[in-house]
Structure 1
Amino acid sequence: MPQLKGGSVNGFEILKDLPQDYTEIKIAMFDFDGTISTLRQGWESVMESFMVEMICGGNSPQEYVAREVRQYIQDSAGIQTIFQMRWLCEAVKRHGLNPVVFDEWEYKDEYNRRLMEQVETRVRRLMEGKADPEDFLIEGVQDFLKSLYEAGVEIYAASGTDHEDVLREAEALGVKKFFRKMAGAPKRKADCSKEAVLRELINEKGFGQRQILIVGDGKVEISLGSEVGAVTLGVASDEVRREGINPVKRQRLIKAGCHALTGDFKNYKLIMHWLRLAD
């Protein structure tokens, strides 16, 4: 295998050695949006405009508000949407520019309605055969999922997106078949699906932390994996191009403590070799 630590080969970069007691991955837990799917590409701009509008009310948008919102969205990428709307509720009160303050669930419903206008168009095109699933998948991810599946790895997905939407979008993209279980945000509950899935794998199914691989483009899942001692692969994906490295995500994932980084999965054979799942 090429020497990778401190360098990059085909966009794959090793940052930390695998744990000394690492043997072999038995479980892989994936984030969905931005790691596998780009159906929700552009969600950040939808959320930013929505949050700024809610905070400023009938007043002209304020640049200092927009800067704060942009930073928060960057920092919170990957968490369940309801927690972002809880922050919005607090921000509307704190800034005092808009006398109308809604409940966090009302904010979530309206944000989701706006976002789904563009997502539904993409899903409908897939369902009608007017678009190819590859148009909305990070490059090489199907090959990587298939390789893990054929190597006997149990694959799970956990997402901050609503559960029913995750299932529907995975079906439309043709990747649902690879997953033992997919868990999105539970309906009308403020529970972290990523933490719940990881807790189930460790506590209920009895898998050791070193047997679990966590793959994601957000600091939430990577930080969670680092905390419990799992192997972590950060995906610094460019969701517009669907390949290559997003430098902002890269820095965020390095800070979160990932073992290795990639921008896409065209290098899946190299990743499988690093995980000692292939020669």
Structure 2
Amino acid sequence: MAEPSNSHLPRILCLHGGGTSAMIFKIQTRRLQWSLRQHFRFVFVDAPFESAAGPGVLPIFEGCGPYYKWVVPESTTPERDQQRVRQVLRKAIADDSGDGEFVGLLGFSQGGRMVAGLLAVQEEGEATGLPYWQFAVLLCASYPPLSMSNERARKEPKGPVDVHGEDPEPEEREIISIPSVHVRGTLDPHCEKGRRLAKYFNRETSVSMEFVMGHHLPGAAGDSTSSKGDTDAIRDAVLRAYAGDLNADRDAGSSANGINFAQNTV
């Protein structure tokens, strides 16, 4: 008996990490997809720029190229690069066979930085031809946000800058209020950068969740530190973000199975 179609469900656009692909990201998120299968349809898209395999991709995904990335370091054509990113996102949206509304973004690592950039553009009111995103999930995302705004790309730092040439703290006008869930691993070497990225999100409309894991999702191949309960906790936070109510996580402080719900004050 054929499974019922999920084409009517609201859709989440999924952005993979640097040096991977839509196909790999689909495999990496299989547990999260399964836990949310009755609520959303997941749509995966390849980034526009070919890349070498990213950290942790080999040897598990040997021969699964080509691999892609969302940004070209030291590019001399950043505005053209922004246009290419938007083009591939629009095409993925247009090509998907589902008819549910696009409501959310989900990004891992570099894809999470891109999600932050897309949300920032929406907050600024810039026309992009993309859907209106109601919420976002940033998985093991790093810092700084990938700018999809010409205004931000031209922004000059006000004072001393960090190693990325960025202001150490975001300005008030840069804070993103779109509901968001930030998932980090305490064993991830990029965990502190993820905490910095969370500063760009309004603490009243976002929640940060930290698990004892590395630069991957709970239940990844070879992971012995996380449990099914971790994926369930992420699922519940995603549903609350979609409903626009993340206060339950913030009030909880920490869960019975050791998950840290960190406020966005770090």
TM-score, normalization: structure 1? 0.35
Structure number with the bigger relative contact order (C-alpha 8 A, sep ≥ 6) is 1
Normalized per residue, which structure has more helix? 1
TM-score, normalization: structure 2? 0.37
Question: Which structure has the larger Rg?
Answer: 1
